[in-house]
Homo-oligomer: A and B are copies of this chain.
């Protein structure tokens, strides 16, 4: 193995951006956004907090890199079908599932606007939108709408999980709590919210998410 920096091979335990990012993902998966601290990270890597700053600019850089690793894998796993509509759905669902497995990427994606992770999604959506025949002048608004929707759902998901984790309850219990709060709202001011609260538990998040994508897709191809 040839390295331009010299002939000495690295010790396996030496620090590297990749090792730091891997450890960060483990920390984030295990205990959420609050679990990633430079102290916890340096302890896990048997080093000092300062050492990490040699490989990483700051915490946002670190979270963005961790998020990008997940998004890159997710995009790679999606087989590129020929149908653009199916491709858009596949990308959206891929991100949704990745966010279910790693809720913290929801906030990481919004924290780093215009950065690589979001751009990977944008690119995939964009290629499909072009293939769908959307005229050039409407392409940006269309892709941007799809991305905003996906990131919006992701942000909500991340917030829900964080809330639930903070109160040490599960997602299901959290939703039940929200439904209870909504049912107790003023009947005159919040008739819709009260009505929907009772029906909320029946719904599947993943299905609802896809319905939203289909709504936008239908809008794209409608006159």
A215 within 8 A of B: yes
Interface status of A104 (Cβ within 8 A of chain B): no
Q: Which of A130-149 contact B (CB under 8 A)?
A: 130, 136, 138-145, 147-149
Q: Are B140 and A199 in contact (CB under 8 A)?
A: yes
For A214, the chain B residues whose CB sits under 8 A away are 219
Closest to A125 in B: B192
Interface residues in A, total, Cβ within 8 A: 59
A17 to chain B, nearest CB (A): 19
A219 in contact with B215 (CB, 8 Å): yes
Give complex CA distance A16, B11 in Å: 60
Question: From residue A178, how far is it (CB to closest CB) to chain B in Å?
Answer: 4
Residues A141 and B208 in contact in the complex (CB < 8 Å), given A113-B163, A114-B178: yes
Q: Which of A21-29, A35-43, A45-53, A152-160 contacts B (4 or more CB under 8 A)?
A: A152-160
